[in-house]
Structure 1
């Protein structure tokens, strides 16, 4: 049973409304508009509190149809009902909608009740019918694109190799034994007597091979071993005299500067706000094959051929957009966007454009591309203000440390990018305490200690009135990470540090004990910012990592409002060229902004995300 149904314009004017209960649906409808419709996420069902909400857009008259019902109920007729009620309302009031007469009283009760009864009756009939097998058109094979069916070079060779590997036992046995007795064929197969004779001769032949093994010649390596191997001498290999200077098992802070020469040229380069990421701009390439074919034919077929692919003032349908959307989906997947995200993005574009009337000289391909470009810019644009430097200065005025926690899977570069962010903070005259809470990985504490020494060499205490700008808080290995973080924050408050950077152990998203430990650390210490560190190299894996990290932080926390991921640090961005799809996947899943982008191995290789540059790189 439906609890709520409403029809309103995209401008916010309610045309008709039905409410079955006294419950207030305002907050749920606003949440759907804010998180799904405005973000163009294309979700079929949206859950808020105890309600499930679904919607349908009419782009021709700029209408929105929303239905809400209890989450417990599984109503199979909602999609059909929305389609039918959309057609019923539009056909009945087409003239009024065309004249934009929104303020008159729509008497739509009869149409609503009849359509709802038909949908419920249809649902009961479907439940009584036996389940039928899928047709070919409904299967995944029918949805394959043309590009995946094109034969490429090397495919024929692979097919021939595969055919050679196929075994046909009866003919093969016959080929192995050319002197076999006359083979009698029965219905295209050998008889039992011939097969038995062939097998006997084959066994005798194999026994002869085992009895007379060929003697292998003496290998030349045996003679070399008798003479004796000479040790290889490396040019810069060093001698036993160098062992003392290479000893690193104990810290030697007194002679640290003799082994590390600080690059003072990078000092002062990261003052103020972090610079935006620069993507090499190039002339936009023609993307769709339809447009390329149109341009080629325009030179051959005369002046009338330029109108190929244009839509003459008619409303777009799903079938019109399907070729262009399939091409766009393949392009996004090739640029490292997760396949599920690429499908949802194309579906949202289809929902946004379906029923829209294009101009005479607007092509479908260019319209789809421009709409998707706008959607990508909107997805990557931050939904809230992210100004870490300002937040740190505000916490400094309140005389408390600003706490940032870094989490992520193994090997993505948490410690390295933590050091980059630390360098940016001390460049802006903020004292930083690094909490070594990775008590699991061997060498994690030593890595942070090395970064601390290098950063203090770049910003020595003499330049800051004798204050040490970076300090490491460590308790060794095998200890409780949440307890170390708590002690570090208390020490930072007492010692007047401005920022605390908490480094956590890398963990896979499926490791429940470690995910519980991370949830405990965040719940106990309540950091100001939880940053997820992810690689720009991954595609579908990024979606799985983010979803499970967020889900674990929500599930394992007993709070009604758990602290989940606040932002993303995208590392190894310099290794992917223009395959920047991971940024889209990560932001689409969480709705959280990409705060930092790692572009190299030095302390200055830290950038802010330039949304337009990334989208341009993705779409070219």
Structure 2
């Protein structure tokens, strides 16, 4: 959507303007607004050949009416791809000039008279009541904008290329039937010839109609038996029966060209549900579905702990399956991915050699890759198992299976066992309880969430926030994703939901004020916003700051440098990489490059501190069943633990991983 639109004279007098958001209105009134920067940097200096200017995340386009010395300007966020802006400018220019030509000519002439020294230009401009003169222009502007937005939306859906709207066609499209009423009012300085304006408007309409151009969007397609003027051909087509048939179906929503009323907006608001109780407001947010009672964790010793992820094993243990497979001698079965068939190759009493293990290790590698383990990691795991088994003497079927299983299980367990503590709550409380000098304020605990695009950083950040609130901590969420459209609004919805859930420490019913959002909009420096958020949290006694960052690909060096700048500037206590459970080889590449880039760029920033990934959150865990190899790949690459896994769409769908459960899932057939 647009942020700002204005029509002004080259002398600096604004005839009409419209800001579409409060932030845009404040920006437009400031000296650093994109429109003022356009005039200062492009128009005054003559750098206006391309008719496009970018400043502070905004894109500005404009067009001139030279004979009337008018400038039409449209500003919008640069990240938005608005294809209709050029058509909008041309349509507005043509319509505005045609409707207000007599007044504009008189107005410009008065400015030229004042410039000779008879009257000051500013004083002359103030005698014109632009609000009254252009009072009906707002409605026409809305019609033009709505028509072009609808056309652009239809083009996106159909993916068809349409010809651009000619300015006169655009006028014909959006000019209402009562355009005769849209005339400038009398001014205190000059009497406007209303009859002349009316004649000009009527002449414009007649000329456009004479060309036979259809009215886009308003054309009726009269097909046989379907037009409004067609008559029913049988009893079944009578209006009464048609009405009875329609009443049985779902009522369609009504869409029109007029601005919606308050009652229309209320009927389209599906974010609330009625609550009949007289002690509650008429409508309250329906956020109860955001908490799955069956997924809630447990409270132990005053601490709210999320549930453990448990592998749903089959009724028959994998050990018994392996034993049966070995005794049945299914060495030649084609399903080499099953560990039962892999281990069945090891038969007889002998000292194992590399040649003996080679076909078995190949089958085991295929099995690991089917479990979503990256190929590189599967190779390394097999190498470790091979080193532990070569030269070992095995006897019966049971001892062969047991030796191989023990070697594989030990290798997986060693990889998955955390090298550092995964008790995030303990780390938070340890820092918060540290003693500071009386002159120094307590520092909040900060956690930065990083990762590639679309893995669910914001969603799982809100799940972690819910867990922290349950443990009685005050949380400030820093919206440092200043690039993706909707990122700030998404966090704002999460904060609203968490505040309305009625959850507090150990299940208390007061969460108001425990979660807040710190945001500065889009197009700003993420490192600066994070620093301000941490300072705000320190001054307002927040316990934890959760820093959301924009997604980026691991090969994008400028964006990785920007992320390293955020880390080196703010030195967060934890850097959590958020990755998907669905990826295999890609997980290795993502983590390696994220960790390496953070270490290289943060150490080169001048602070001398090298920071890398401190832990992982694996999302979409509920979509992989027993294919949990991403956990093995991620842990192997960084040596850091998986703190949580996300396994659903509610705030309670957060789980802790137990090494034994992951190993069991990987070894299962």
Q: Which category of TM-score, normalised to the shorter sequence, fits these structures?
A: 0.5 to 0.7
Q: Please state how far the C-alpha of 1:309 moved relative to its aligned partner.
A: 4.5
| 1:593 pairs with 2:641 | yes
SS at 2:651's partner residue? coil
Q: Please state how far the C-alpha of 1:281 moved relative to its aligned partner.
A: 2.0
Evaluate the alpha carbon distance shift between residue 391 and residue 464 of structure 1 in structure 2; reply closer, same or farther with a 3 A threshold.
Answer: farther
**1:280 alignment partner, one of 300, 306, 312:** 312
Q: Report which structure shows greater RCO (CA 8 Å, sep ≥6).
A: 1
Query: In the aligned structure 2, how far is the partner of 1:524 from the partner of 1:414?
Result: 21
Contact 1:461 1:468 survives alignment (8 Å): no
Q: Please state how far the C-alpha of 1:273 moved relative to its aligned partner.
A: 2.5
What corresponds to 2:420 in structure 1?
384
After superposition, what is the alpha-carbon deviation per residue over 1:322-348, rounded to whole angstroms, capped at 9, x for unaligned?
A: 121111111111111111111111011
**1:429 alignment partner, one of 463, 472, 477:** 472
After superposition, what is the alpha-carbon deviation per residue over 1:353-374, rounded to whole angstroms, capped at 9, x for unaligned?
A: 2122335555545422321111
What corresponds to 2:354 in structure 1?
318
Q: Please state how far the C-alpha of 1:246 moved relative to its aligned partner.
A: 4.1
What corresponds to 1:514 in structure 2?
559
**1:238 alignment partner, one of 229, 237, 253:** 253
What corresponds to 1:197 in structure 2?
none
Contact 2:621 2:647 survives alignment (8 Å): yes
What corresponds to 2:97 in structure 1?
none
Contact 1:460 1:468 survives alignment (8 Å): no
**2:572 alignment partner, one of 503, 527, 541:** 527
Evaluate the alpha carbon distance shift between residue 278 and residue 402 of structure 1 in structure 2; reply closer, same or farther with a 3 A threshold.
Answer: same
Query: In the aligned structure 1, how far is the partner of 2:582 from the partner of 2:227?
Result: 44
| 1:610 pairs with 2:658 | yes
Query: In the aligned structure 2, how far is the partner of 1:488 from the partner of 1:409?
Result: 23
SS at 1:258's partner residue? strand
Query: In the aligned structure 1, how far is the partner of 2:410 from the partner of 2:561?
Result: 39
SS at 2:652's partner residue? coil
SS at 1:556's partner residue? helix
Query: In the aligned structure 1, how far is the partner of 2:630 from the partner of 2:531?
Result: 33
Q: Please state how far the C-alpha of 1:262 moved relative to its aligned partner.
A: 3.5
Q: Greater CA deviation, 425-434 or 363-372? A: 363-372
Contact 1:411 1:506 survives alignment (8 Å): yes
Contact 1:329 1:342 survives alignment (8 Å): yes
Contact 1:395 1:498 survives alignment (8 Å): no
| 1:490 pairs with 2:535 | yes
What corresponds to 1:304 in structure 2?
none
After superposition, what is the alpha-carbon deviation per residue over 1:243-299, rounded to whole angstroms, capped at 9, x for unaligned?
A: 3454799xxxx989624343587497464222211111222347999973642589x
Query: In the aligned structure 1, how far is the partner of 2:292 from the partner of 2:321?
Result: 46
Evaluate the alpha carbon distance shift between residue 540 and residue 248 of structure 1 in structure 2; reply closer, same or farther with a 3 A threshold.
Answer: same
What corresponds to 1:374 in structure 2?
410
Evaluate the alpha carbon distance shift between residue 236 and residue 492 of structure 1 in structure 2; reply closer, same or farther with a 3 A threshold.
Answer: farther
Contact 2:448 2:549 survives alignment (8 Å): yes
SS at 1:472's partner residue? strand
Evaluate the alpha carbon distance shift between residue 293 and residue 499 of structure 1 in structure 2; reply closer, same or farther with a 3 A threshold.
Answer: closer
**2:588 alignment partner, one of 543, 558, 561:** 543
After superposition, what is the alpha-carbon deviation per residue over 1:294-327, rounded to whole angstroms, capped at 9, x for unaligned?
A: 42589xxxxxxxx995442x43210111121111
Contact 2:580 2:618 survives alignment (8 Å): yes
SS at 1:485's partner residue? helix
| 1:400 pairs with 2:443 | yes
Q: Please state how far the C-alpha of 1:235 moved relative to its aligned partner.
A: 2.3
Query: How many corresponding residue pairs?
Result: 385
Q: Please state how far the C-alpha of 1:570 moved relative to its aligned partner.
A: 0.5
Q: Please state how far the C-alpha of 1:478 moved relative to its aligned partner.
A: 0.4
Q: What is the TM-score when the length of structure 2 is the normalising length?
A: 0.53
Which runs of 5 or more structure 1 residues have no equivalent in the other structure? Answer: 1-222, 299-306
Q: CA RMSD in A?
A: 3.4
Evaluate the alpha carbon distance shift between residue 335 and residue 359 of structure 1 in structure 2; reply closer, same or farther with a 3 A threshold.
Answer: same
Query: In the aligned structure 1, how far is the partner of 2:628 from the partner of 2:597?
Result: 27
Contact 1:270 1:424 survives alignment (8 Å): no
After superposition, what is the alpha-carbon deviation per residue over 1:457-495, rounded to whole angstroms, capped at 9, x for unaligned?
A: 113799688960000000000000000000000000000
After superposition, what is the alpha-carbon deviation per residue over 1:353-405, rounded to whole angstroms, capped at 9, x for unaligned?
A: 21223355555454223211111112111111121111111222233211000
Query: In the aligned structure 2, how far is the partner of 1:466 from the partner of 1:334?
Result: 44
Which runs of 5 or more structure 2 residues have no equivalent in the other structure? Answer: 1-220, 229-244, 256-262, 272-279, 332-343, 435-441
What corresponds to 1:260 in structure 2?
286
SS at 1:596's partner residue? strand
Contact 1:537 1:582 survives alignment (8 Å): yes
| 1:415 pairs with 2:441 | no
Q: Greater CA deviation, 433-442 or 351-360? A: 351-360
**1:565 alignment partner, one of 613, 629, 640:** 613
SS at 2:524's partner residue? coil
Query: In the aligned structure 2, how far is the partner of 1:337 from the partner of 1:481?
Result: 34
1:48-63 paired onto structure 2 within 5 Å:
none
Q: What is the TM-score when the length of structure 1 is the normalising length?
A: 0.57
